[in-house]
Amino acid sequence: MGTMDELIDPVLVRRLRRALGGVPAAAHGRALEEAESAVVGRKLRERVDLVRDAMLDDLPDDFTTTEQIARGLLEQADFTGWMIWPASEWVARRGLDSGSEHDFDTAMALLAELTVRLSSEFAVRDLLAARPERGLQIMRTWTTHSDEHVRRLASEGSRAYLPWGRRVPWLISHPGATGAILDTLYRDDSEYVRRSVANHLNDLSRVDPGVVTRRAAQWAGRPDSHTPWVLRHGLRTLVKKADPAALALVGFTGMDLDVGRPRLSARSVAWNGSLSFSATVTNNGEPEARVAIDYSIGFRRANGTTSPTTFKLTSRRLAPGESVVVTKTHSLRPITTRAYYAGEHFVTVQANGVQSEQTPFILEPAGLDTAQRTSPEHAAGASDG
């Protein structure tokens, strides 16, 4: 299997050219032909832009013809898969270039048809950025569509922080604007749609926690069998931040807690190794507590500072006065989404947001041998755990 970048490769561009060849209104320029070889060696986003721009160069620039070509492509059996992404952005760009509200609306409708073959969530961002209120008005009508892909587009395309997607500042400055979309979809029959709603809600928690917890409270008052999962997933960031309203909405109670400083199995961790630790959590309150227990690792950065990242550990019920010892082994093997740097890190544990003291540990440099790790000089330089 190739990399993500290779999802749009010369073979796919050639297939797109063949599909366009079956549409009478499509002109035959040279830009797409040249794009076949030009996509090689580029990142995925660059490939999308290159193919989209080639379509803009090769095909007529009036929107009436654009609509004819798009509908003609939808009749082609070979018009499918990742070629839809640049094609959807071509439609969005033509709809905006027209300047007509009618053409804007038609472009939105075409994206809804295209999304059934491959999500139009990235292309719709261009239209939303230009006319956010009109765009959301149309997207609200998608929430009752018979196809789950179109319903999901209403939620996914209007997320505040869509991964890989263009930022739409208006959505961030108006965090309540997508509420009607979410209210319709949080009990959707499709898990595909509900997951998008939960991710959308989690995005908004970075913008306005109050908007999120108020909406979640309304959903909790009108739940179905899937609503508890939607709330847990949608409030996950606020739960990690110990937002009291979010904790209560997902059923965590008790704030009179004591969290002991983590105890390490070793004061240093070998490169590519794992950190093992334990901590004691005690319920000092009178009622039973249902506790969300998480841990954070303060990862050392290239400039020597540390930046904590929080991870889910477990949840427990604790009777009044009861203590529990939690343990965890966290791999520090390098991964594609995080670079590690040797030196001092730290670990903390939290229960319903009540944090322990930090316990430092040393991540050893790559290539350090066993004799060096166990030398008195190395041990003396490690922090006590």
Q: Are 237 and 204 in contact (CB under 8 A)?
A: no
Beta-ladder partners of 331:
274
Dump pLDDT digits (tens) for 194-249: 999 999 999 999 999 999 999 999 999 999 999 999 999 999 999 988 899 999 99
Confidence bin at 346 (pLDDT 50/70/90): very high
pLDDT at 1 over 60: no
Q: How far is CA 42 from CA 36, 83, 157, 158, 291, in A?
A: 12, 16, 25, 28, 47
Q: Mean pLDDT over residues 118-126, rounded?
A: 98
Q: Give the pLDDT confidence score for residue 368 in this predicted structure.
A: 60
Q: Give the pLDDT confidence score for residue 316 in this predicted structure.
A: 95
Dump pLDDT digits (tens) for 295-343: 999 999 999 999 999 999 999 999 999 999 999 999 999 888 889 999 9
Return d(Cα 284, Cα 291) in angstroms, integer.
12
Q: Counting beta carbons within 10 angstroms of the beta carbon of residue 35, is it exposed (0 to 12), middle (13 to 18) or buried (19 or more)?
A: buried
Amino acid 335 reads I
Amino acid 79 reads F
Secondary structure class of 333 (helix, strand, coil): coil
Secondary structure class of 222 (helix, strand, coil): coil
% the chain with pLDDT above 70: 95
Please tell me the pTM assigned to this model: 0.84
The torsion of the CA quartet 94, 180, 112, 61, rounded to 10 degrees, works out to: -10
Return d(Cα 385, Cα 379) in angstroms, integer.
12
367: left (phi over 0), alpha (psi -120 to 50) or beta: left
For strands 274-283 and 257-259, give the pairing. Answer: antiparallel
Q: Mean pLDDT over residues 51-76, rounded?
A: 97
Q: Are 27 and 54 in contact (CB under 8 A)?
A: no
Return d(Cα 200, Cα 190) in angstroms, integer.
15
Q: How far is CA 297 from CA 129, 243, 338, 363, in A?
A: 37, 20, 13, 12
